[in-house]
Amino acid sequence: MTIIAPADAAAIGEAAAILRDGGLVAFPTETVYGLGADATQAWAVARIYDAKDRPSFNPLIAHVADIDAARREAALPESALSLAAAFWPGPLTIVAPLAPGGSICDLARAGLPSVAVRVPAHPVAQALIAALGRPIAAPSANRSGHVSPVTAAHVAQDLAGKVDMILDGGRTPAGLESTIVSFCEASPLQLRPGAVAREAIEKILGEKLSAPARSEVVAPGMTPSHYAPAARLRLEAHELEEGEAALDFGGRLAARAKSGTLVLDLSPSGDLVEAAANLFAHLREFDARHIANVAVAHVPERGLGEAINDRLRRASAPRNTASLRD
């Protein structure tokens, strides 16, 4: 049975007790909802993979209280620490070699000699980590291959009956997952674009972020069709074809839509932060309305546009290649 509770102090205390007992709790972060387990208990972590139908070799992000807690798990080089100081708490995930004596179980790291850590900014996530007193392993709280959830209702749609408790903290503000930067190679790699813009990270680092080599599966969740709604998306549309709904940006397509056409605008004013926050909710809305075909307006590639376009390309990719979606 799944308890869905407003995320007040009593519910957070109950949620921490569930995690301590090896249970699963979905909770809001500033990016998307996470499906959490105690990161130190392998069998609890195994339940995450089971609930999501996710391949078990896909490593998870460990959510920790602060920089000190992150350093107990990951050997963070100076440059990683400067990013941590600039962006934590917040939507940045750092991948680094394991620290000696780290507590995160092998399964949460998919056996890798590295670990992904992040200090979330959302007060509910922070309170839950504090109440548990240990890192919380949490992927996005969706079934494998579905878009990431930004409301408790989305989590319930995907995971009711599979998660012990859902802490309802309202809609998540960023609506886009964290940016992932790896410090496991000679120079920092951006493994996934996300809610912190590449430019902001490069400014702190004083160098460009590299992209992982295409053949390398450094972030196994980043397969081409990872973010897949049921609707077929046609990107970079300048007009609407017969029978299509529209995912608009800045009102570009609305101007050309016939009356009666469903048009959801990521940001009528053309604001990329607002667009990021609306992205997954709008994709879910098309599915909820059983829309088959969606024309997607051009979204500029600057700032958060890089991450938005990345998710849109994945959402529009053919489905049958996705063996590793998370």
Residues forming contacts to ligand TXA in the complex (CB under 6 A) are 29, 31-32, 34, 58-61, 91, 93, 95, 109, 112, 114-116, 118, 138-140, 177-178, 180, 191-192, 218-222, 326
- Min dist CB 220 to Mg ion, Å, is 11
Task: With residue 177 as reference, give the H or E element that holds it.
Answer: none
Residue nearer to ligand TXA on the CB measure, 178 or 267? 178
- Residues with Cβ < 8 Å from 241, sequence gap 6 or more? 234, 293, 295
**Sheet with 136-137, side-by-side order of all strands:** 3-6, 165-168, 25-28, 33-38, 136-137, 61-63, 114-118, 92-97, 179-182, 189-192
CB-based contact 225:318 (threshold 8 Å) = yes
- Min dist CB 326 to Mg ion, Å, is 5
CB-based contact 165:18 (threshold 8 Å) = yes
Q: Choose from ligand TXA, Mg ion, none: what does 39 bind? Cβ within 5-8 Å by kind.
A: none
- Min dist CB 86 to ligand TXA, Å, is 17
Residue nearer to Mg ion on the CB measure, 244 or 306? 306
Residue nearer to ligand TXA on the CB measure, 200 or 262? 200
- Min dist CB 14 to ligand TXA, Å, is 20
- Residues with Cβ < 8 Å from 298, sequence gap 6 or more? 236, 237, 238, 249, 252
- Residue numbers of the site for Mg ion (CB under 5 A)? 140, 326
Structure tokens belonging to residue 123:
């007060």
**DSSP code at position 140:** B
- Min dist CB 307 to ligand TXA, Å, is 11
Q: Choose from ligand TXA, Mg ion, none: what does 131 bind? Cβ within 5-8 Å by kind.
A: none
Residue nearer to Mg ion on the CB measure, 178 or 240? 178
- Residues with Cβ < 8 Å from 69, sequence gap 6 or more? 119, 135
Q: Choose from ligand TXA, Mg ion, none: what does 250 bind? Cβ within 5-8 Å by kind.
A: none
Q: For the chain, what's the residue count?
A: 326
Residue nearer to ligand TXA on the CB measure, 40 or 297? 40
CB-based contact 121:42 (threshold 8 Å) = no
Of 103, 116, 126, give the one whose Cα is nearest residue 326. 116
Q: Choose from Mg ion, ligand TXA, none: what does 294 bind? Cβ within 5-8 Å by kind.
A: none
200 in helix, strand or coil?
helix
Residue nearer to ligand TXA on the CB measure, 117 or 245? 117
- Min dist CB 242 to ligand TXA, Å, is 36
- Min dist CB 258 to ligand TXA, Å, is 37
Residue with tokens 């295409």: 214
Q: Choose from ligand TXA, Mg ion, none: what does 191 bind? Cβ within 5-8 Å by kind.
A: ligand TXA
Q: Choose from ligand TXA, Mg ion, none: what does 309 bind? Cβ within 5-8 Å by kind.
A: none
Query: CA angle at residue 326 from 149 to 194, to 5 degrees?
Result: 65
